[in-house]
A and B are shown apart, each in its own frame.
Chain A
Amino acid sequence: MDAGLLEQMLLGALLGLSVYLPLRCGQLSLATPGFFAIGGTVAALLSTRVPALAGSGSTYPITSVLLEMALAALLTGVLALGLGRVVLRLRGIYLAIATIALVEILRVVTLNLEFTGGALGIFGIPQPFNSAAGYAAFTLALLALICWLCDRLEKTRPGRAMAAIRDDELAAASQGINTADTKLLAFVLSALVAGITGVVAAHFLNSWNAKLGNFDASITTLAFVVFGGSRTWLGPVFGGLLLTALPELLRPVGDLRLIVFGAVILVGPLFFPQGVITPELFKWFKPRIGGITTAAAQGVKQ
C-alpha cells in the first residue's frame, strides 16, 4: 500500500470539507485554495527561515508543525472574518467571482514578493516524518477530528441554522436566525480547515509555490463536493478521496487515463445530481445494515 497516495487522498478529503462548509449554508465560495496557499506559505516560511523551530533531532518536531498550524489557522481565520463580512453580502455566482478574485490576488502577491520565492517558490522544507506513512497517520487523525466536528455541526444549532439558510434564507431569517453571522461562521471554518491542510501539504510536498493555490485548484476542490455530494460531510470526503486517487489508479489505462477521469467527473453529476452520497442513501442503507447487525446479534445469542 502506497502511503504517499493515501496522504494525497486525505489532503483532498480535507480540501473537499473546506469547500463543503460554506455550501452547507448555500454559499458557493471558491476561496479554499487561497486559504490553502496561506497555510502552505506560512509553513514553508516558518520551517525554512526560523531556526528555533527546527529542534535538535533528525526530524522536524511535530510541535513545530502544530505551532505552524495554529498560526496558519489564526491568519486564515482573521482574514476570513474580515473578508467574509464584505464578500458574504454577495450571493451565488457573484460570491464565487469575488472569492476567485481573492485566490488570484493571493497568487499575484505571492509571485511578486521576494520572501515567498516568486514563481520558483520555497523548497527544502524539513520533514516531520521519515516516511509517507507518518504523514498519512497524522492526516488521518486530523481528518477524523474534522469529520467528527462536522458531524457535530450537522446536529447542533448553528449547523441546523446553516441548513435552514441553504433551503430558504428569507424563511430562516424570519425564524430569528442571524443569517449574516451563521454564513460568516461557515466561511471562517472553511478557511481554518484549508489553512491547516496547507501546512501539512507544504511539508508533505517538500516545496511550495504559487501554482499550488491557483484557480485550477478551486475547480478541482469544487468537483470533490459536486461529485461526492454537499448534503452531508461524508460526501466531500468521499469525493476528495476518490477524485484524488482516480488519476493514479487509472495509470494502467495509459494515455487514456485523464480522458477516463474526465468522463467519470462528467458522468457522476449526470447520474447523481445531488452527489454520490446523500442522506437518502443512509435511509436506504440503515434498515438493511441494521437488519444484518440485529440478525448477527441474534445469531451470536443462539
Chain B
Amino acid sequence: MSDVQLQMGQPAQAGGESPSLGVGHVRDYLALLKPRVMSLVVFTGFVGLLLAPGSIHPVLGTIAILCIAVGAGASGAINMWYDRDIDAIMRRTQGRPIVTGRVDGEAALAFGIVLSAFSVMIMGLAVNWTAAALLALTIGFYVLVYTMWLKRSTPQNIVIGGAAGAFPPMIGWAAVTGDISLDSAVLFAIIFMWTPPHFWALSLYRCEDYARAGVPMLPVVAGKAETRRQILLYSLLLAPLAVLPWGLGTVGALYGMGAIVLGALFLLGAVRIWREGDGPKAESAAKQLFAYSILYLFLIFALMILDRAWTFGAAA
C-alpha cells in the first residue's frame, strides 16, 4: 500500500542507545514496518479473506493475515533501506529510523529480508502455496519493480507500482480458496485504480519535496494541470469499477448503493481539483481529496464486510 500514509504518523522517537552504535529500539524496528500502511493492507487482506467462498480455520486465517502484515511491513523496511538517500532529503521522511541513524541500514535490510522470507514460508506451510506465491509476488513487486526500478525512473511509478498495494485482498481470498478468481481480481483492480488519484493528490501539494529528491512524480515531470486531468480520469474509472463487485454478485445492494455514493463524492473531489486549477483553494482541494481517498478505500472495504454481515443475518 502507499508509503505516503506513514507521513501522518509520528516519527519514532530516538531511543536511549547511542546513534553511533546504529542499534535501534523495538519501536524503531516497528517504525521500519510502516505500521499505518500495514493497517490498510491488513484490512483489505482481511476483507478478501472474509468475502471468499468457503471457510478457513480461524487460527489459519489469523496466521494468513499475520503473514500479509509481516510481508507488507518487511517490504516497507527494505524500501526504507533502499530509499534512505532520498528519505533524508524529503521533509515527510526525514524522521525515518535509518535516516536519523537510530537503525543501521544493513540491519534494516537484513530485518526486511528475514521477515519477507519467513512470512512467505509460513504462509505456504500453514495456509497454501497460492497465497504464499501471491505474497512473494507482492513483496518482490514492491521492492524490485516499484522501489528499485520505477520510483526514480518514470512518472508512471505509482500507476504500475500500485499493483503491489492491490494484491492483499487477492492474497486473503487465495488463503481461503487456494486460487485466483474474477471476484478477487476486481478487488485488486479497485485498489489499483484508487492508487494514482490518491498519490497524485498528495504530490500536488508536496511537489517541491519530490522535485528536490529527484523523484519524477507526475506534477514534477508533466506539470500540475496534467496531474489534475489524470486524477479526474482515474477517478472516472474508479467510481464505476468500485460498483462492479455488486454487479458480479460478490456483494449485495447495500454495498452497491454505498459504493455509488462514495464514488460520486470521490468524483466531486476530483472535479473540484480540476476546476480549481492553480487557484487559491487548489492546495486545500488536493489535501481534502487525499484525506478522503484514504477514508474512501476504508469505507468501500468496510461496506463489503457490512454487506456480507447483512446478507448473512438476513439468511439466518
Q: Do A and B bind each other?
A: no
A residues neighboring B (CB under 8 Å): none
